[in-house]
Chain A
Amino acid sequence: MGKYIIKKFILLIITLIVTSFVIFLIFELVPGDPVTDKLGTRATPEMIESLRAKWGLDQPFVLRYFKFLGGIFTLNFGTSYTYGISVSSLLKEKIMINLVMSLMALTFVIVISFPLGIYTAKHTGGLSDKIISPLNQTAMSIPSFVLGLIITFLFGIVLKWFKPGGYVSYKTDFFGFLYFLIFPSFALALPKIAMCIRLLKGNILEEASKDYSTTAYARGNNTKGLLYRHVLKNAAMPTVTFIGMIAADMICSGIVIEQVFSVPGLGQILINSISTRDFPVVEAEVLMIALFIMVISFITDIIHVIIDPRVRI
């Protein structure tokens, strides 16, 4: 296990370094310049020159990259060009928003998809299956931003359960913050819920048709006993992997959902920083997302090891 973790850790560092270099390179190649963006239409050559020097942009590419890399290892991501405050303080609140939103969405996925998946598997071909399956299909095929607009319209305008775009900071009102995030989280979760239900149902049915299930029946198990004691454990495996993938994807899908619900999260600041060429912010954030995805896949691997002894060998 220890060796496994060390191996993963080294892989993580290498990936991060490669990612950081790629972003650095891309920013070097795309047209546009943070200095001219900051100075806008008032820029004069002298002002451009002096700001460039102030931000260290007049130094050669390689030197700047190594300086930046050194910064990462001391957890200093520098200062945002646009806002003039440190990148870490800028991203702190945003991380909180996306973390809460992702966790909430993940909870929705687990709490809703497992019972429903098992239920539809148990009653395949029944009335409930006939209702849930098409609904599932629909939820999967609607793009999340359309879903977001539908939810905003239904719960925000018609039912008035929340104010569209009425995000409140957790610093001012923590419960208001949680309450508002329920809706974007749900929009984020719905397509994933649909996928999970389908996956779980398929797996359960597949496992139930295997030989060991027949044996279990022969040993005197009833359907309920078979399902919970034998089939579910095996059927849940791919779903756990899938949920791991979903968790990693939450931040990325969140970017679209944030736009629809006007949540000032990581996605908005990322898009904004790219358009203003606010390089320190983009670099820090992309690295963070990469790190997040890798940590999640790491955790998924560990959970796998725990519930499936075969992986350990």
Chain B
Amino acid sequence: MLIVKDLHAKVEGKEILKGINLEVNPGEVHAIMGPNGSGKSTLANVLAGHENYEVTKGEVSFFGKDLLDMDADVRSKEGLFLSFQYPVEIPGVSMVNFLKTALNEHRKYRGKDELKAGDFLKLMKEKKELVEIDSQLTNRSVNEGFSGGEKKKNEIFQMAMLEPKLAILDETDSGLDIDALRIVAHGVNALKRPDNATIVVTHYQRLLDYIVPDFVHVLYNGRIVKSAGKELAFELEEKGYDWIKKEVGE
């Protein structure tokens, strides 16, 4: 579904991605690991369409369509989802209004009618249970005053509502205690289907105990320098990233 070819991207004039190649197929879970500053979050943001990142070279196709040509909202409606590393607080925009608007934009895009109020609430209730999110949180403004863990759960909750074909989880484990981590991972696993896929971006291996990847890629200095099965994650956890640096000759 996703084919990334020789992707280069700059932020504030500095080249961060220096030729990424990646292919993700339905049903797969890919982990992208790497030391801080290697370009993991940049890759996630570029794929989601953040305008601060300038793609200078390469191409990305998503179900055969040119992803880079789409606005962020269109990418979402085409089935791409980014779980933010640092979800933004948006005071004054209620969770309910936000989700309803998003969901209906998705439905409109697919030529469906808007969801009836009752059906929407039912759907919300069902998905809330999946991530064990506090019922009160959906009565508040988007992420406002949420704890770190609540914010991450809220990301997965939104993912559950929007049912993307490809979810990119950007350091969803950072700052999460082990209980919250299990809940989040459980949510992600419950949403797994043969026709969707997940990219888990993480620094540590711990999340991968719960969301088991089919492929692990190591991103270093803007390139994927190593790809292997899930055993690579354990190796990285044990040995750190220094041996990778040596391997690529630094």
Answer yes or no: do A and B interact.
no
Interfacial residues, chain A to chain B (CB-CB below 8 A): none
Interfacial residues, chain B to chain A (CB-CB below 8 A): none
